[in-house]
Structure 1
């Protein structure tokens, strides 16, 4: 699998990206990673699963993540996150002008792809949201939320520990160990990343009925990081255009969990229907 790397500038910040393509291209997927991690963590499993179907995959590291620039765990604004996603879709159009486009987002990326589909005019063929960050599965300490909201007004770029427990990403010990050992993974988050993301998650649930793009929602029922009931509410508000697949005892990163083969079968089956 040959990876083509590229760099660009968005909101004055250097952004790293890359893409892979099969010999015969049936479509293109723009992949958006989760908070605190980076696109490279998808190259061993998710990306090959998609290219095996004849799908090119364009991926990138968000502001403050991975190989992209910016303060770790901080972004210019939520609008900038959506604009960067729009720019990546534009890049995908330039590279593969005739290919139908899909979005694939995990966790934070799931929040972004759903909000993009709801808020922006587009020609997407479909959206896949993996454990989408619509609502947290845990309640952050009250003092932390109060302090964060105060900092949002006076120092929105200050970062604090995210509180994300790495043990919640997978039931496979080796996957958790690899996550902890990854030098590009971080646990910092700023108020500018925190509160607009939380608000956008609730907004997406409330406005899900307006979605007119086929959307697959996948979530594990044992996810201790993001509440799977948020995905359930999103689906309940738009059963016509969304498909919800829950994986019993699945943790946060289903593509790195014990049920990954079953998850990939569901994703590929859904994609075949859209193609």
Structure 2
């Protein structure tokens, strides 16, 4: 597997961006990781699935994540996250012209790719969103929400520990331990990262009927971090989505007990696109 590093900056912030081509390219996948993690965590399972389907993969570490620049867990704005995603899409179109573009996003990445598909005029062949961050699976204490929104106005870029337990990502203890031991994983989050993403998740649900790109949604019913019912709501309002619920599945379906089933669902859906 040959990994090519691509030069990329968002304004003055260096962005770690990479590209993996298969021998025959029939499509491009722009892969967007979740909050607190990084794109390198998708090499063991997800990237090979796309390569076997003759899909080139382009991914990047988001602002404040992984090997990219920026304060850990902070970003300029939600708009900046969408602008960066657009830069990567443009880079993909230039790298392999006249090739179908797909978006793949997990958790916060799922939030971003769904919002991008709804708001952008770029012609996309398809979107895949796993455990998309549309609605939290728990209700934060009211005082915490009030304090957080006040800080969004006063100290939007201050970062605090998210407080989320890594045990919610997978039912496989070894995967949880890998997550804990990964030096590029962090649990910092600023009000500017958290509240706009939450708002964008609800916005996506409210505007799902406007989605025009065929989209595959996957979510585990045992997800303790992001509520699968938010994904269901999005699906029920849209007309171009396919929803696959994995019974008992935890947050990172591609690293969970059901990962073989999940990757097969994705491969089968891609084949239906006749690539």
1:73-110 C-alpha deviation (Å, 9 max, x unpaired):
00110000000000000010111112100000000000
Matched residues in 1 for 2:209 and 2:97: separation?
30
Q: State the match for 1:138 in structure 2.
A: 138
Would the aligned equivalents of 1:129 and 1:216 in 2 still touch at CA under 8 Å?
A: yes
Secondary structure, in 3 states, of the residue corresponding to 2:16?
Answer: strand
Aligned to 1:243: 242
Distance of 2:84 and 2:189 partners within structure 1: 19
Instruction: Quote the Cα distance in structure 2 between the aligned partners of 1:34 and 1:4.
Output: 22
Alignment of 1:1-20 (within 5 A): 1-20=1-20
Q: Aligned partners of 1:112 and 1:125: how far apart in 2?
A: 16
Query: Aligned residue for 1:65?
Result: 65
For residue 262 of structure 1, what is the aligned residue in structure 2?
261
Do residues 74 (structure 1) and 86 (structure 2) align? no
Counterparts of residues 1-275 of structure 1 (less than 5 Å): 1-238=1-238, 240-274=239-273, 275=275
Partner SS state of residue 8, structure 2: strand
- C-alpha distance in 2 between matches for 1:137 and 1:232: 13
Give the Å deviation of 1:142: 2.3
Aligned counterparts of 1:212 and 1:174: Cα–Cα separation in 2: 39
Gaps of 5+ in 1: none
CA distance in 2, matches of 1:253, 1:154: 34
Q: 1:163 Cα deviation (Å)?
A: 2.0
Per-residue CA deviation, residues 109-152 of structure 1 (Å, 9 max, x unaligned), is: 00000000000101100000000000000112222212111111
Distance in 1, Cα, partners of 2:27 & 2:128: 14
Secondary structure at the residue paired with 1:246?
A: strand
For residues 12 and 147 of structure 1, what CA distance do their matches in structure 2 show? 31
Supply the distance in 2 between the matched residues of 1:213 and 1:35 (Cα, whole angstroms). 24
Task: Quote the Cα distance in structure 2 between the aligned partners of 1:213 and 1:206.
Answer: 16
Separation of aligned partners in 1, 2:9 and 2:187: 24
- Unpaired runs of 5+ residues, structure 2, are none
| Contact kept? 1:29, 1:57, Cα under 8 Å | yes
The answer as to whether partners of 1:13 and 1:69 remain within 8 angstroms in 2 is yes
Aligned length: 274
* Preserved CA contact (<8 Å) 1:131 1:226: yes
- Residues 12-39 of structure 1 deviation map (CA, whole Å, 9 limit, x = unaligned): 2111010100010010000000000000
User: For 1:249, what is the secondary structure of its paired residue?
Assistant: coil
- State the distance in 1 between where 2:132 and 2:11 align: 25
Q: Hey, what's the Cα distance between the residues in 1 that align with 2:241 and 2:79?
A: 24
TM-score by length of 2: 0.98
Partner SS, residue 219 of structure 1: strand
Cα distance in 1 for partners of 2:7, 2:62 equals 12
Moved more, 173-182 or 147-156: 147-156
